[in-house]
Chains A and B, each alone.
Chain A
Amino acid sequence: MRKILVGLSWGWLGIFALLPLMMLFVVSFFHRGVSEFFVPGFTLENYIRLFDPIYFTVFFKSLILAVVTTIFCLLLGYPFAYFMASYGKAARSYLMILVIIPFWTSSLIRTYATMLILRTNGLLNTILLKLGIISQPMEILYTEWAVYIGMVYTLLPFMILPLYSAVEKLDRQYLQAASDLGASPWQTFVKVTLPLTLPGIIAGSMLVFLPAMGLFYIPDILGGAKSLVVGSFIKNQFLAARNWPFGAAISVFLCLLMGAGIWLYFWVKSRVSPEETKA
């Protein structure tokens, strides 16, 4: 039995997960082919090219996009999770489903619908004009704003869910104790609530940050041609530029970068709550 289960899982993961990732790593050292996708060999030129300022800017811009998206999700999601946890059991579970349902519908379709809302003659502008808040339609679509709105919109549920489970676990007696001891609501929040919900904040931030680095279709659709992020950059190397070794090198570099980020996360976490990491 043990052999079957282990064999099946290692067999599949070995062939379709480990092998392709290793091949990608190997290809990143290959030469570019003219008629074929890559020519075996060994070169570091693909990695050296990465340090070209043009490519570096792409990485930097993607990083900023991912970081800002994470911050916005956190700022919008925290109050939501906090308020949500303060309701009774039945209301909470309904709110939970309401947060999950959008996640069940195609994110591509929802991005397209966001595009309809943000268009110059779209719903948002129509409403704002009618209400007299603005006198001229705003150009949001195909700007950075649209990309941020789309990213936050798609990734917000990933922030809310772990935050909610952290806030829900919070023992309200601590809050009571803090206020009994004379702490202001703000002090209670900063000194008690925030540290206790930190694992949820970190988990949610990871769940938002990591996909944000790779999602290429949201900037593609909402940002127009202007916003080149690292995801679409890799995609272009494989499909348009046909430079697979370079595309592979960018991917390896991206993975290293994210690996470093994850390592940093565990490092910070072990400093913040040593007991939990050990358990």
Chain B
Amino acid sequence: MMEWIRKAYLSFILLFLYAPILILIAYSFNSGTYSTQWEGFTLDWYRSLAKSSDLLEITFNSFLLAFLAASGATIIGTAAAIALKRYQFLGKKAMQGLLFALLMSPDVVMGIALLVLFVALKMDLGFFTLLLSHITFGIPFVIVTVMGRIASLDENLTQAASDLGASEFQTLHKVILPLLWPAVLSGWLLAFTLSMDDVIISFFVSGPDFEILPLRIYSMVRLGVKPEINALCTILFILTMAIVFTSRKLVGDEE
């Protein structure tokens, strides 16, 4: 009896979480354009997606932005995590406070704060402002991920390296970074996902010459999303699944 309740409840919640995704996949094969009724199977939306250079370009923009932003956030975030964990420096407490504030403050506040900065600096809103913003909001998440791993790092190893005559740089390069690698990688992945998913901050700091997917979808939602978007999202979802399961397999093999 208990077992039955347990299974039913877990399935119910999972159904709740997955229903929208499944619906989207189903609609991407539905031949009705804006209708919610099932009108037969079609691959038309995938065909017209393949021809829609506009949508493909926007998708590419999103990937490019997420890739660069995640890489930037990972470099700076890892540097900050190592600095916070290994060194004493001026304003360390202040930096910790700032990071906490960044993690806690609502995205909308961060978005307008960056907008004020860019306007004050007279920067044109577009690719660079998006990139700078996405790097910035990714950093705290990378730091948190990497810090967790540094905490479990064996101090004896870095001590041994420096006893054996390694310079600070060599210790970092040969000992710390290889040990941190899995955390750095998952920090990158987290920053990448956050960048791909962000609507709120991008909303304020983007310009007309560089469009990204979430904002395009946001502008379409009210009027009805083109079925090509359903097809695109289905492909992205399957891609995500593939990445998640492959990376799990890789990590699993390592363990």
Contacts and interface: CB of A to CB of B under 8 A. Distances in A.
Interface of A: 1-2, 4-6, 8-10, 12-13, 16-21, 23-24, 27, 37, 76, 79-80, 83-84, 86, 95, 97-117, 119, 121-123, 126, 153, 156-157, 210-211, 213-217, 221, 231, 234-235, 238-239, 244, 247-248, 251, 254-255, 258-259, 262
16 contacts: A2-B89, A5-B83, A6-B83, A12-B135, A12-B136, A19-B117, A104-B193, A104-B240, A107-B197, A108-B221, A111-B20, A113-B23, A121-B37, A126-B36, A214-B108, A238-B204
Contacts of B229: 109
Given A104-B244, A244-B116, 13 more contacts: A2-B83, A2-B86, A13-B80, A13-B98, A80-B9, A101-B244, A107-B197, A108-B214, A109-B229, A117-B19, A214-B107, A217-B200, A254-B106
Contacts of B237: 105
A217 B225 CA distance: 15
Interface stretch (B10-18, B40-48, B49-57, B150-158): B10-18
A113 B21 contact: yes
A123 to B, nearest CB: 6
A10 B240 CA distance: 33
Given A1-B169, A116-B36, A157 B17 contact: yes
Contacts of A258: 104-106
A13 B109 contact: no
Contacts, number: 211
B191 interface: no
B93 interface: no
Contacts of A13: 80, 95, 98-99, 136, 139
Interface of B: 6, 9-10, 13-14, 16-21, 23-24, 27, 36-37, 75-76, 79-80, 82-84, 86-87, 89, 91, 95, 98-99, 101-102, 104-110, 112-117, 119-120, 132-133, 135-136, 139, 167-169, 172, 193, 196-197, 199-200, 203-204, 213-214, 217-218, 221-222, 225, 229, 233, 236-237, 240-241, 244-245, 248
A255 B221 contact: no
Contact of B132 (A16, A106, A109, A235): A16
A238 B112 contact: yes
Nearest to B236: A105
B217 A23 contact: no
Contacts of B236: 105-106
Contacts of B241: 101
A19 B27 CA distance: 45
B233 A210 contact: no
8 closest A-B pairs by CB: A214-B106, A113-B20, A9-B80, A1-B168, A20-B113, A20-B117, A5-B83, A24-B113
Contacts of B193: 103-104
For the residues of B in contact with A, the DSSP-based class is: helix
A156 B36 contact: no
A152 to B, nearest CB: 9
Given A10-B95, A214-B107, A117 B20 contact: yes
For the residues of A in contact with B, the DSSP-based class is: helix
Contact of B108 (A18, A107, A216): A216
B200 A215 contact: yes
B24 A113 contact: yes
B116 A106 contact: no
Nearest to A93: B248
B52 to A, nearest CB: 17
Contacts of A113: 20-21, 23-24
A109 B200 contact: no
Contacts of B214: 106, 108
Nearest to B115: A238
Nearest to B99: A13
A186 B17 CA distance: 29
Contacts of B172: 1
A83 B108 contact: no
B221 A119 contact: no
Given A24-B109, A221-B221, A97 B248 contact: yes
A217 B199 contact: yes
B183 to A, nearest CB: 16
A214 B197 contact: no
A21 B10 contact: no
B36 A17 contact: no
A112 B6 CA distance: 30
Given A83-B9, A95-B10, A16 B117 contact: yes
A156 B17 CA distance: 9
Given A102-B21, A105-B233, A108-B199, A231 B98 contact: no
